[in-house]
Amino acid sequence: MSVLERPVAVRGRGRSGRTLALRGRGLSLRIRPRPLAVTLLLTLLAAGSGALALTRDGLVPPAEVLGALFGAGSEQAAFVVLELRLPRVALGLVVGAALGAAGALFQQLSRNPLGSPDIVGFNSGAATGALLVLLHGDPAYVAAGAAGGGLATAVIVQLLARRGSFRGNRLILAGIAVGSLLASVNAYLLTRAALDHAQSAQLWLIGSLGSAERHQVLPALLGLGVLLLAALPVVRRLDLLEMGDEAAGALGVDAGRTRVLVLLVAVGLSAVAVSAAGPIVFVALCAPQLARRLSRGTGTGLLPAAAMGALLLSASDLAAISLPTAGPLPVGVVTGALGGVYLAWLLGRGRRR
């Protein structure tokens, strides 16, 4: 092995602390200890929240939950854990991670903290496609409808935002405008649907994990994994765009191609979340910002944001099923309330400054 092929560890310091870079055979991997530790901690907390959801209300003791997970429990415990609770917990973790990662990509792409899929209209587009399938097609193709609606919205917003030089604020404004129009389309579709279909669709539009089933988990998990793997090579190029298109181009980064790839991955992540649980609000907005505060990192922060999204949605769903309400509480109600509190806290914090 020559010197050029031998892996080399390079240590340095940045705004987020020490950095360990591993390079060799044309590959480069930078590891920042603090963001990595934050990601692992948030992942453990999200798993802990899921474990609490499995053992809630004392119906199935923790020992029987473990037995059911490993195939050694009673039939009753296995049914409650594996058929009723585990799909909801697993899907909540996957959807939360997808929303957190999508929010991180949108915010870095637009260079605006409001650049999340639920704010700029991409969730509305995915919801429109899914509603058309739910109300007028085969419900088995909801995922395809959500992906198609989100992709069509992304194309329209991108075309509106690309007039002249690219600006993040223009992307936000174009997304809000298109999202408002699509919200009207969604409302119209509901008024024209049968009453029972409209009620179920309205519950889905709020965002709910109550109808999660085992067969939904694996496709959502595979979609999340593939899209995260596709995002990792592009994230570094996206971070270089902070220096400006000309400076990034001097380093070999194609700004236009990078933005299109990031947009496709972010829309795909949004479609995975929307098709599985409906357009859940505020998780994609809050998760990247909270993760960035904890990790003190710069750039996209994709993995910490995904872990924070999983924790936020898992904890919100645990609160939704634990609150003493007259009926099942959709998780979208809880995330909307938490998002409002978070925005109010940001406003108050900014005013004190």
What is the model's pLDDT at position 3?
Answer: 34
Average of per-residue pLDDT across 110-130? 81
- pLDDT tens column, 317-341: 999 988 887 677 889 999 989 888 8
Give the tokens for residue 185.
Answer: 């389309």
Is CATH 1.10.4080.10 the classification given to domain 87-323? Answer: no
How much is the pTM? 0.84
Give the tokens for residue 198.
Answer: 């409209």
Q: How many CB atoms lie within 10 A of CB 184?
A: 11
Domain extents in the chain: 1-31, 87-323
Q: Would you place residue 88 in the very low, low, confident or very high pLDDT band (cuts 50, 70, 90)?
A: very high
- pLDDT tens column, 226-250: 999 999 888 888 888 777 777 777 7
What is the model's pLDDT at position 31?
Answer: 66
- pLDDT tens column, 153-167: 888 887 887 765 556
Is-contact 221 273, C-beta < 8 A?
A: no
Q: Which of 90-94, 266-270, 291-295 has the highest mean pLDDT?
A: 90-94
- On the question of pLDDT at 44 being above 90, the answer is yes
